[in-house]
A = this chain, B = another copy of it.
Amino acid sequence: MSYARQMLDSYPRTVNVDAGVLAAAIDAIGDCTQACTADTDADLSEQNLAEMVRCIRLCLDCADICTATGGVISRLAAYDTGATRPLLEACVAICRSCGDECERHAHYEHCGVCEQACRRCERACRELLDALK
């Protein structure tokens, strides 16, 4: 069981969202942040740098947005819906863009792994958005 799920199960208040969906989103966001950070660095090590620039920029954006989203949804007690929903939508959008770009470079194994992390994070954030309705 992930730390995220253990923290949820020991939370002092009732959480108004399915704990499995929330824990899955927190875990996927953490993994995606790390994959994008590592992929930025791997991209910078490739020979055809000019072709990797868009991938690097999207990975940097994706890591920043995932970091914020992971922080906000880890503070469970008082979601500010007006901010949490567009933040999750931004996270879904950047994971899709970054996943699409990584797919274009998936002949590099590191971009393939990063694509998977982005796709999984996109799905998990969509499911959380549905659960918050």
Q: Which residues of A contact B (CB under 8 A)?
A: 2-4, 6-13, 26, 30-31, 33-35, 37-42, 44-46, 49-50, 53-54, 56-58, 60-61, 63-65, 67-72, 74-78, 80, 82-87, 89-91, 93-94, 96-97, 108-110, 112-114, 116-117
Contact = CB atoms under 8 A, between A and B. Distances in A.
Say what secondary structure dominates the interface of chain A: helix
- What is the total number of copies of this protein in its complex? 4
A26 B68 CA distance: 17
B57 A41 contact: yes
B90 A78 contact: no
A83 B94 contact: yes
A65 B90 CA distance: 11
